[in-house]
Amino acid sequence: MQNAILNHIQKFINLEPSEIDILESCFSTLQIKKKEHVLKEGQICNTMYFVVKGCMRQYIINPKGTEQTLQFGIENWWITDYLSYHNHIPSSFYLQAVENSEVIALDKTVLESLLIEIPNLERYFRIITQKTFGAMQMRIKFLFTMSAEERYHHFNDHFPEFVQRVPQYMLASYLDFSAEFMSKIRAGKV
């Protein structure tokens, strides 16, 4: 399990054998069952999660009481509530396993120590954060500039693994339309 995260880190930075040993001693692995939450609204998020296997999601419950998926995380992706994590404030989000998942949990205090011990990790996390931010910007652009049908087809073309793995209602909420509209698109009735 730890090989996945080490391989991912080493795609972006070089680690010395002694640094790998330090990292391996700090990783905490978790098995999360499908539908289980690792964070709920109102809790303070002190952990970043690296998905080794499975699928996680970040969502809110909107004023109508409907779940609205904001982000998915599959293998080799990080997921957390960054605002709560960095500012030590109650979360506005839920983090939940979409599938049975294996994750590496990195506690904030552990990460802060690691960044001092292995300064090059700062570069890794900066790159990952920039990639995450860029993906969020593109998602917002697509929400504002594409029709619902265009969003579905774009997502299906670029991320077909999600369309197969994620329940239809979650994918519909991520793409900002109803599950009923999703059914019509998939049936070719739109």
Q: What is the pLDDT of residue 1?
A: 60
| C-alpha–C-alpha distance, residues 103 and 123, integer Å | 22
pTM above 0.85, yes or no: yes
How far is the CA of 98 from the CAs of 16, 20, 40, 95, in angstroms? Answer: 35, 30, 15, 9
Inter-residue contact 58 to 79 (CB < 8 Å): yes
pLDDT in tens, 44-60: 999 999 999 999 999 99
| C-alpha–C-alpha distance, residues 130 and 3, integer Å | 23
pLDDT in tens, 97-133: 999 999 999 999 999 999 999 999 999 999 999 999 9
Calculate Rg over the CA atoms of the chain: 18
Give me the residue spans of the domains in the chain. 2-118
Tell me the average pLDDT of the chain. Answer: 93
CATH of 2-118, picked from 2.60.120.10, 3.90.550.10, 3.40.1710.10, 3.40.50.300, is: 2.60.120.10
| C-alpha–C-alpha distance, residues 56 and 74, integer Å | 6
pLDDT in tens, 4-48: 999 999 999 999 999 999 999 999 999 999 999 999 999 999 999
